A and B are shown apart, each in its own frame.
Chain A
Amino acid sequence: MAKYVCPICGYVYDEAAGRPEDGIAPGTPWQALSEDWVCPLCGAPKSVFEGQSKPEVKSTPASGVMEPQEEPLRELSVGELAALCTNLAKGCEKQYRAEEAELFMQLAAYYEKRIPKGEARDFTQLLTLIDQELNNEYPAAKEAATANRDRGSLRALVWGEKVSRILTSLLGKFDKQGDALLNGTNIYVCEICGFVYVGNEPPEICPVCKVPNLKISMIAKEAV
């Protein structure tokens, strides 16, 4: 009997144990679970689960082996400057510096107004875009962080990768089900890492960053 692990939240499906609370009897093999079965903790699709015996992804070559050409740092975009300032405002709030937080919000508002209108994309195009990012750019960035032993950057990249994977999984479902995905249910966003959850109640703790759910907020329905 094998075990399968959710790469987003770490939930383990154990064939021997099944999941009786969801009507899955002990001894139910992985293959017998329907294709639209999702992770009971975080909603990740069955397709992203990994066999537990699977060896760890080959670790990165030691630093120096792939010392890439030093790229000059690109200037921050206006959108990034806005995000930087809202984040610094949060940093000030945590230090109970209300005046500084308010000043950073003024700067953020300035940048926010000047973000150039980007290219319009539909949900399916965004799904493709994020999917490509997951296949190529995230692994490369994680490799750079690992090679340089930059744990902080690696942490941000791992969370971002997990959350992005959840976004693609929801966009994939939305592609098939359309508005039915959200009819009669709620959608939540974790204020810390950006994890998105569709369901009636938010999970107890965020499956990605493990913050308690007082930091997971519901996106309100528009008033009719």
Chain B
Amino acid sequence: MSVLVFTDSLNKEITKSSFEAVVYGAKVASDIGTSCIAVSYGDVTESSLSALGKYGALKVLHDTSIASGDIQNLHLLVKQACEKESSKVVVFGLDFTGKSVAPMAAAALKAGYISGAIDYPSSYQPITVKKNVFSGKAFANVQINTPVGVVAVLPNSVKITTTDASASIELFKATLPGSKIKTLETKLKGGEGVTLTEAEIVVSAGRGMKGPENWGDVEELAILLGAATACSRPVADIGWRPHHEHVGQTGVAIRPNLYIAIGISGAIQHLAGVNGSKIIVVINKDPEAPFFKAADYGIVGDAFDVLPKLVEAVRKLKAA
């Protein structure tokens, strides 16, 4: 028996959502009295692979024959690893890769699948997990009725803890069919900036900013805080900001530690994508803006006055 965790890499390093998945898998493994095994693929540094031990993996099965980023057959890699290790639970991080591979692996294994888990299982007979539903407006406790279960964990749902253990690396070669999807071009955004869905802090702004030329302080604040930037939907729709920054019910759903919303009214569709944030700060000149009802801290004021002062205050803090 075991718990299997799928891990992905970017630029040869294991990703943050994979670390979270391993922490999750290790807890599940200890709950059911077994060990946590990671499976990975592609060009990944050896140090990054053995570091999976710090997060709780005993060993990592690594398939070097699959190119990094070639995700089309990874469900078969996972299935074969799951069968080899007689895994009871298979864990994914629900990032872009997980959204593609986890449901395919579940179907290939004919295993019940819970996507968007926000907490550890509340029971193991049957496996029952709390997940986000209605775009963060509610939660559902879902149970798995099959012997093997697949769980995909929403980013920022588990607290990362580490030890100084290291994982052993075992080469593993899955038997895979030929490629049907050919990659013509990959455009990675590069190392600069923090990935929105994985960010601990997000600085977000809306139509209250009046125009794209006014985003300087928003970006400055984000850089100072090591945060990602986001925006409301109309701002992405009119082209003030790129589409991938659009958060909400029809954009990206995020659950950072801290969400700072500037000049955003707090429409229900916007809240749906951000109300999983632990702390919400709202800056809006209208004291009646609905966002204040969902906020922990607020400033009623003009963003064009408040923001420069806030940037200055953070700069001072970081310099101290």
Asked if chains A and B come from one complex, the reply is: no
Residues of B at the A interface (CB closer than 8 Å) are none
